[in-house]
Amino acid sequence: MSDQNKHAHEKGIHRDFANDMTYGDYLQLDKVLSAQQRLSDHHDEMLFIIIHQTSELWMKQILHEMGVAKQCILQNNLEPAFKMLSRVSRIQHQLIQSWDVLSTLTPSEYMEFREKLGRSSGFQSYQNRLIEFTLGHKNARVLTVYQHQPELYQRLEETLHEPSLYDASIMALSLRGLTVDQAALERDWSLEYVENNSVREAWLTVYRDVEKYWDLYELAEKLVDIDSRQQQWRYNHMITVERIIGHKMGTGGSSGVEYLKKALEGRFFPELWSLRTSL
């Protein structure tokens, strides 16, 4: 059967786009699909570029979801945040799987074009920094990398000094009448969060009376999902880097694998992990 006969019943398909927007127009595919500019002639550089570009697109969506979710939590309107946070963890799953694809790049293949990267490195991903700041991992020293880009520097600095997603969640505990130290509610948001016993006890109260605090319990578990997935992403990143370049220094000047290993040591929401031992 010819294609013409197979699709004869689809008489409503629009075929004249002289004056209408197409799928490609809407998605601006001419810009998106022309952004993969290899600096070498090596076949596998295309994979390297596309993996990192798609990761940045997913990070953009994560920031979009977490930003609105945080505002909902700050407004004590938790339920809409659950869908957004659940979506974040699903996106993280996509990012975790991307390392499996990149690991098909062998050390010999990567060495064919690595020098073309110059000093550019994933360490410089400002969206990854924004995600870490939003989750509560604050580090003012990394801002120096972005001094040559004033707009990015300002955005990062603003996020550094804002309450994190976890800070907003701790405020939600207090708004529900749970006892939280003022030191955890009115701190310098630009500093790394330090585990607080009153926060741990407040979360314990939630977990011991799930029926009464169902929305806070649901929020806590969404946060644990995100923390867990972020650690998986970090681990897979570290393993992939070790598999491809061993213990060489990173292109951006970091210690490479050793730097990535150190990132695995911390948790974004420490009390949500430590309380499990006490339940």
Q: pLDDT at position 5, please?
A: 62
Q: pLDDT at position 68, please?
A: 98
Q: Which two tokens stand for residue 252?
A: 């951006």
Q: pLDDT at position 7, please?
A: 59
Annotation: binding site for substrate: 48-52, 110, 114, 251
Q: pLDDT at position 3, please?
A: 60
Q: Tell me the CA distances in angstroms from 78 to 67, 166, 169, 215, one per residue in order.
A: 13, 13, 9, 7
What tens digit of pLDDT does each residue of 114-124 get? Answer: 999 999 988 89
pTM of structure:
0.92
Q: pLDDT at position 205, please?
A: 98
Q: pLDDT at position 120, please?
A: 92
What tens digit of pLDDT does each residue of 152-206 get? Answer: 999 999 999 999 999 999 999 999 999 999 999 999 999 999 999 999 999 999 9
Q: pLDDT at position 259, please?
A: 80
**Residue 203 CB neighbours (<10 A):** 26
Is residue 238 within 8 Å of residue 261, measured between CB atoms? yes
Enumerate residue ranges in the chain where pLDDT < 50: none
Q: Tell me the CA distances in angstroms from 47 to 170, 222, 262, one per residue in order.
A: 41, 32, 27
| Dist. CA 96–CA 100, nearest whole Å | 8
Q: pLDDT at position 265, please?
A: 80
Annotation: binding site for heme: 237
Q: C-alpha 9: how far from its chain's center? A: 45
Annotation: binding site: 48-52, 110, 114, 237, 251
